[in-house]
Chain A
């Protein structure tokens, strides 16, 4: 094939064709933009939803319960009906601060695209086994929960028969059920923290339904086996998360699945020189999901890890519409509000607000707290209070700051988010 033009232009380049990238593209198209290009490294659109065959997606977005592939298919259909161009099997290798995207694929080799605006929608990846520092040998049979999910749901292959799961993230819980349905014996799920990292409904329907025990404040301290995993030693941990030697217990298994957290995949963001939030691992953004570099936006799990794809789509719409505003020279930067947190609230997205438009602020808390109120202040002035019976790290919270609330703030105020006890 002849060398294609290796210097291209596009108004909007979207990196990633998962739920965030597709929803951003559709939103930008619906705001009148036509020159859009989605770049996707996999061989189909859909991202991680393709392997998430369980149901529970779309209750907020579509008012019905869909599986992952069904949810993805709705957006894919929209992208195709609108005729939004996308390139598959295409890996982006660089983004620079002047908004030149360097990508490559088999047909075109390496090529550059000059973009007016870029949306980063690369998603996240799982914390790998190497990052966990577990003692013992390195036999076969140890996978991240997402890898096992791809094997079972997309390749039709079972990674093993007797399974222990470390980490109670949602993918680990979903895989506990999935492996059980396919005939494996899931011995237990061990969670280092004293609370689960996954949604309450997944503990119920993925573990309790099948009598799979969840050991809180437990971790894997040793891996056994030479060629293939033969078992693990687990132990209870103290409040400092140190294993208690007297509680060591051997559990035989041929498979260890790791569901120990997700990390936004921001190599390209870093290469563009955009600084990341230490807590979220994603870019620092304003209310319209614009990064420090004007015209570069981020949305979905690349920005912060979401519990629900519905919220990813919602955020992607914000980014998609804002990118169109930016391209049309209509994006305002009238304010520079800084959002700060008290530690009980770990982070907020956005971290900055640059226009006095209604803004939904997403955040996560550091621990399980009961009977609390979320307090938002401008200096000493309370802007908003919201009572909550219970908040937990595994469940993302939101508050809405109205245009009126924001207009009442100084243009460069610091807005604090804190969690206070409610006296009964």
Chain B
């Protein structure tokens, strides 16, 4: 009997039900249930190296907070490490959307960028 894993795609709000089948060695044999190529890529990544975009806020010098995100997804296993890095920085007061506040956060290759204008 083939091993399989059921996933709900998180790429878009459609939330397709995906099925990933594995062979005896644990390698991916087949992916089904996706309705777009991004769904297939998501299923592959989710079963090999799952990633997530982290969104949060950083404190500014004046004590207010401003929204941030990782500009590209980071490994799911590093979410809390990245959160700790985000919570350790202070942003200038005059930041704008797209400003890089942490480059290559925790060695993930992803920048943390500002997502709201102040």
A interface residue numbers (CB < 8 A to B): 50, 53-56, 59, 65, 67, 69-70, 73, 152-156, 181-182, 199-201, 203-205, 209, 307-308, 395
With both chains docked as a complex, state the minimum distance between the C-beta of A50 and any C-beta of chain B, in angstroms.
7
Beyond contacts A65-B53, A69-B67, A73-B97: 17 other A-B pairs, Cβ-Cβ < 8 A, are A53-B57, A53-B67, A56-B12, A56-B13, A67-B67, A69-B116, A70-B97, A73-B116, A152-B57, A153-B65, A155-B65, A156-B57, A181-B56, A201-B8, A201-B10, A204-B7, A205-B52
Determine if B116 and A59 form an interchain contact, defined as CB atoms under 8 angstroms apart: no
Q: Is the CB of B15 within 8 A of A67?
A: no
B55 A54 Cβ-Cβ under 8 A: yes
In Å, the complex CA distance between A73 and B57 comes to: 17
Instruction: Say whether, besides A69-B67, A153-B65, A181 and B83 are in contact (CB < 8 Å).
Output: yes
Q: Kindly list chain A residues whose C-beta atoms are within 8 Å of the C-beta of B65.
A: 153-156
Interchain Cβ contacts under 8 Å between A and B, 9 examples: A55-B69, A67-B116, A69-B117, A181-B56, A182-B83, A200-B17, A307-B13, A308-B13, A395-B13
Give bound CA distance, A65 to B63, whole Å: 28
Give the shortest distance, in Å, between A31 (CB) and chain B (any CB).
Answer: 28
> Quick check: A201 and B53 within 8 Å, CB to CB?
no
Separation of A264 and B104 alpha carbons in the complex (Å): 42
Q: Which residues of B contact A201 (CB under 8 A)?
A: 8-13, 15
Minimum C-beta distance from A4 to chain B (A): 28
B54, CB-defined interface residue at 8 Å: yes
Decide: A156 and B64 in contact? CB cutoff 8 A.
Answer: yes
Q: Using CB atoms, name the residue of chain B closest to A60.
A: B12
Identity of the chain B residue whose Cβ is nearest the Cβ of A174 in the assembled complex = B55
Instruction: Check A200 against B67 for contact (C-beta < 8 Å).
Output: no
> Cβ of B5 < 8 Å from any Cβ of A?
no
| Distance A53 CA – B65 CA, assembled complex (angstroms) | 12
Specify which of B15, B64, B79, B97 is in contact with A181 (CB 8 Å cutoff): B79
B15, B53, B59, B115: the one contacting A199 at CB < 8 Å is B15
B13 pairs with A203, CB closer than 8 A: no
User: Does B55 lie within 8 Å of A53, measured CB to CB?
Assistant: yes
B51 CB to closest chain A CB (Å) equals 11
Contact A53 B13, CB 8 Å, known A73-B117, A153-B65: no
Separation in Å of the B108 CB from the closest CB of chain A? 16
Chain B residue contacts of A54, Cβ below 8 A:
55
Q: How far is the CB of A28 from chain B (nearest CB, A)?
A: 24
Would you call B29 an interface residue if the criterion is a C-beta within 8 Å of the partner chain's C-beta atoms? Answer: no
Determine which of B10, B12, B57, B115 lies in contact with A204 in the assembled complex, contact meaning CB atoms within 8 Å. B10
A56–B97 Cα gap in the complex (Å)? 17
B116 lies within 8 A of A53 (CB): yes
By a CB distance below 8 angstroms, the chain A residues around B117 are 69, 73
CB nearest to A50 among chain B residues: B116
> A156 and B59: CB pair below 8 A?
yes
* A59/B12 in contact, CB under 8 A: yes
Residue numbers in A under 8 Å from B52 (CB-CB):
205, 209
- 1/0 per residue, CB under 8 A from A, across B35-55: the answer is 000000000000000001111
- Chain B positions 15-47 with a Cβ under 8 Å from a chain A Cβ: 15, 17
Given A53-B116, A73-B97, A204-B8, residue A67 in contact with residue B13 (CB < 8 A): no
Q: Inside 8 A of B64's CB, which chain A residues have their CB?
A: 156
| Structural contact, A67 and B76, CB atoms closer than 8 A | no
CA distance A200 to B56 in the complex (A): 22
Assess the A53–B15 pair: CB atoms within 8 A: no
Name which residue of chain A comes closest to B67, CB basis.
Answer: A53
Contacting pair B13 A69 (CB below 8 A): no
